[in-house]
Chain A
Amino acid sequence: MVVHIKYFASLRDRLGRAEDRLDAVGEVTVAGVWAALWPETPLPPNTLTAVNMEYAGPEQSVRDGDEVAFFPPVTGG
């Protein structure tokens, strides 16, 4: 299955890219997506995650075609 990944703001700057794509086999969670793409880099503390534009926890499972986003705390308003 294919998972589309987006990074925003300071996290994107740190990682040096805005998007990724993961071809995964079998069940994968949000945390698993990060671990597969960034095996050397632990997910920075306070990072927020979303699946298909809804906030999601690290253990939420991801399905084929889903969009997973990683971003720092929000600072609007």
Chain B
Amino acid sequence: MKVELRASPFGPLLELGCYQAGLDQRLPGQYGAMAIFIGTMRDFNEGEAVRGMTLEHYPGMTERHLQRIVEAAFQEWPLLDALVLHRIGALRPNDPIVLVAVWSAHRAAAFAACQFIMEELKSKAPFWKREETADGPRWVEHNTPG
């Protein structure tokens, strides 16, 4: 299991490839399913163009809650491994914000756990988005329902 905050842009597919190469050595032949979610920055929100975004977090609390969310997924489903990366700092449109990947023997657990981690992260992990628009910066007040 790996949970990390990243202060600079990352390539989710590259990260996934590297991580899975390690997984193949640790758990050869065991997983039959991998589910991934990649969240990416849009250049629009609530009807306005967005040029950039800053992701603030609560150092210590954010890491603790992300870790706990992933551990809760392991309690709920028979998972083999999980990888969660989340950006902090300054982002541009198209930059990946979050990567959630889970591995399990069968697809049902992988699909369910991946969605669970993402929804829990959205509602519990202390991150805040501040968008740069033509009218200046604005804080995102709530997440979209899904």
Contact = CB atoms under 8 A, between A and B. Distances in A.
Interface residues of A, number: 17
Contacts of B86: 76-77
A76 B130 contact: no
Contact of A77 (B61, B98, B142): B98
A10 B128 CA distance: 9
Which 3 interchain pairs have the tightest Cβ spacing? A76-B127, A9-B128, A53-B61
Determine chain B's interface SS by DSSP, over half rule.
Answer: mixed
B97 interface: yes
Nearest to B125: A76
B128 A77 contact: no
Nearest to A9: B128
Given A8-B58, A55-B124, 18 more contacts: A9-B56, A53-B61, A53-B64, A71-B128, A72-B139, A73-B142, A73-B143, A74-B124, A74-B128, A75-B127, A75-B129, A76-B55, A76-B86, A76-B125, A76-B126, A77-B39, A77-B98, A77-B121
Interface of A: 6, 8-10, 13, 48, 50, 53, 55, 69, 71-77
A75 B141 contact: yes
